[in-house]
Amino acid sequence: MAETVPALFEQELLGVKELLWGAEIKQDIFQRWSQGFYFSSSEKSALEQAKGGPCAIIAPVQAFIVKNLLLEYKGFHFRDRVNASQGSTTCSSKARPLQVTSEVQSRILVRALCEILSQVSNRHFCVVHIDESGAKREGDRNKNLSDSQDINAVQFHEDLRVIMFVTLGQVTKYYLDHIAALQGKFGVLLFLYSVILSRGLQRVKSECFDLQEPLIDETYGYGSQALINLMISGRATMYVWDHFQEIAGLTLMGIEKQSQVGFITIMEYHRLCTVGSFYKNPIHPVWVLASDTHLTVLFSDERQLVSLETKSEQARRIFKRFDPEENNFISSDKLRDVLQALNLVNELEYVNIMKKKLDSECLGIILLSAFMDEFFPKEESSTPDLFTLFHYNGLAQSHVNGQIQYHIGSAILLESDIKSVCESNAMLTVLQTKWPNIEVNWCDGATPSLN
């Protein structure tokens, strides 16, 4: 590794600054984003978020932390292992003993950050840090830059420097050696800048496609969908559907492939977007959940929740693509399109015969149930009917007792195609975009907050 000459990245950093914040940075929003990666004292594997805004970074990082812990410790008992790791370990579990909590936290944090970096680049990695020696030389500052509580955006950007690495192992060692910088006041921002530079400024801009607004909202300070996608999937696309869609002659890129962790959003319930299968069915049973204003994390230790789709599950998903109103029926004229999408026989003569059979009363519609009975009579499902869900929210004030904790719920998938609608229950509403027939009983009877 070699530290780059600051001038080489001066324009890049200026471009990143403008891409994120726009022409002018509001100090109050900058301050909200100025926080480090630190873990809750009440839930030692859960990152804590101080104020609204940086959940676009913190929630995806937490999702990767949880994903790795579930893999390493074979389930949710990682919670007890991490929480109990402060002292000596007497647990009879076959899992190897943990070190003291701070070492465990550093390890799981750095592993998650490096995994996110590995998704955005396979050539080189840019680590952005603060040149504290340069800050001290200015003479007007009596405190260390990373400890100051009132550093403004101008001062912050003046002292940014970049180190180039060619292997992820080098990045891991650097972060572990400089863990205080990640935990310090600007840890989240430094990592965000590192992600964008590692991806490449021009590449991020091209993936955003005609982005008119900065990645961080100038009014409310929320991260954009492009920023969320960059953190989760490694690409800064603005859309959440699979592959691409042709709209008004434009090719709009979505999610390229099945992601390590997923994403579901209440915006789909409001029909403001369509989340594709790659996000709804990630490789691991971990999802970033989006409300109107905040990001949280849902996860499970039930691996079958993300097993490969059966043919009948694929058929239901594709049928619903042609049923955007979720009426559980399609226009008879759409039958050929559905059959074609499923690679089933779709010659016109055959389609006309099936139309008459499935729409015997000539109503002009074909019911989902009739379609499934005809083409997939022995319906199988890869998803269990009963499973446990866990929910994380990094804002302490969103918890009843003001302390961050994982909330545990017992989920059941009902047999009916008719889902209950309860707009006052935002959690159930967003979960039903993934599992339409789900009901969840949360421990202590308190539904966790999405906000």
Residues designated catalytic: 55, 294
Burial of 326-358, coded b for 16+ CB within 10 Å and e otherwise, reads: eebbbebebbbbbbebbeeebeeeebeebbeeb
Cα–Cα separations (whole angstroms), residue 183 to 175, 187, 227, 247, 295: 10, 6, 21, 43, 21
Separation CA 292–CA 222 (nearest Å): 10
Beta-carbon contacts of 47 under 8 Å, excluding residues fewer than 6 positions away, are: 37, 38, 39, 40, 58, 61, 62, 65, 109, 394
Beta-carbon contacts of 140 under 8 Å, excluding residues fewer than 6 positions away, are: none
Burial level of 252, CB count in 10 A (0-12/13-18/19+)?
middle
Instruction: Report which DSSP code applies to 203.
Output: H
Q: Smallest Cα–Cα separation from 449: which of 387, 388, 394?
A: 394
Burial level of 424, CB count in 10 A (0-12/13-18/19+)?
exposed
Separation CA 39–CA 272 (nearest Å): 34
Residues in the chain: 451
3-state secondary structure of 409: strand
Separation CA 55–CA 449 (nearest Å): 14
Separation CA 296–CA 293 (nearest Å): 10
Separation CA 221–CA 52 (nearest Å): 8
CB atoms within 10 A of CB 266: 19
Burial level of 121, CB count in 10 A (0-12/13-18/19+)?
middle
Separation CA 180–CA 216 (nearest Å): 25
